[in-house]
Amino acid sequence: MIENNDIPLFSDIDKLIHEPARLLIMSFLYVVKNCDFQFLMVQTSLTKGNLSSHLSKLEDAKYIFIEKKFKGKKPYTIISLTDDGRKAYALYRKDMDKLFSKFQE
Amino acid sequence: MPKRIKLKEIEGKIYQIEDKDGFLCLWIGIEVLASGLLGIWWFIDYFIIPIVIISIIISFIIFKKYVTWPRIGRVRFGKFMNLKIMLLAIISVISTIILVILKVRIFPDDILMALFLNLLFLPLLICCFALVSGYKRLYIFALLFGLNFCMQILLFLVKIPEPFYELIPCVIVSLIFMVMWGAILYKFLKQYPLPNNDNK
């Protein structure tokens, strides 16, 4: 068991972001202002259902904001990262950096 | 799913996604062709230029709306991505001013020097764009621009009369751009078919 207080424990790492698909979604949303559902689906290669489920989890944690609109008769979903999501992602990166820097020593 | 995640690479990928349909190739191809044709159509320049530019912009918007966005979705660049574009715009304005000053003030009426300056400035500027944005296709564009100016210098040195020393390389290079666009567009349409429902 690691006991050094300088480095985050595995249990401290944000599990919600740590999941590979959600990490990829968060990474894309971190560099853009917003994007639509189709964009995320193409870039992450996730299925519609899978992406929806991951987005719902991130939305529940208030990491992302989902805006549902209509374009003509077709539904149109715009997704963006909230301030909380941005902070959580930055913290996750910091924690992972710390963790890996300790591993290398 | 990628094996590693790098934010800079994601930014580059997003710039690249915006041009996944290769429309930039078409745009540059038309620009190169137009710059070559200006030498023989100088008497209708003022009428043709705005019409061509407006029609290209309209076709660009229609194309993006009905062909590109339904296939790969739409993204709005983040703050840093927009800052990079601003920085590139500033760099290109400054280099254009320097290029014009060099051509008009320092080396007036020296066609060969003007061609050498084009060869030095424009490919370098495009490489700078590629480096900052991480969009690697721009290096090929820089190479084609370099090829264009090299051919112009060569044809000028072998005494090909005006405007042909300019027109011939421009037509060749713009054709290469158009063929590239065709290939990119074909690959794009094949890789990204229209989804059944446009969005969730």
**Is the pLDDT reported for residue B101 higher than 90?**
no
pLDDT value at residue B198: 47
Which residues in A18-45 are b (16+ Cβ under 10 Å) and which e? eeeebbbbbbbbbbbebbbbbbbbbbbe
Distance (Å, whole) CA A57 – CA B36: 56
pLDDT tens-place string over residues A59-86: 999 999 999 988 888 888 999 999 999 9
Q: Interface pTM (ipTM) of the complex?
A: 0.76
Q: Is the pLDDT score of A4 beyond 70?
A: no
Task: State the CB neighbour count (10 A cutoff) for residue B41.
Answer: 14
Residues of B in Cβ contact (< 8 Å) with A43: 13, 17
State the average pLDDT for chain A.
85
Over residues B104-152, the pLDDT tens digits come to 777 777 778 888 888 888 888 889 888 887 788 889 999 999 998 888 8
Which residues have CB under 8 Å from A91's CB, separation 6+? Answer: A14
Put simply, the answer to whether B17 touches A43 (Cβ < 8 Å) is yes
Residues of B in contact with A36 (CB under 8 A): 73-75, 199
Report whether pLDDT(B163) > 90.
Answer: no
Q: Which amino acid is at A87?
A: K
Smallest CA–CA distance, residue A10 to chain B, in Å, is 20
Dihedral (CA of B102, B41, B57, B138) sign: negative
Task: Check: pTM over 0.80? Answer yes or no.
Answer: no
Contact B5 A37 (CB under 8 A): no
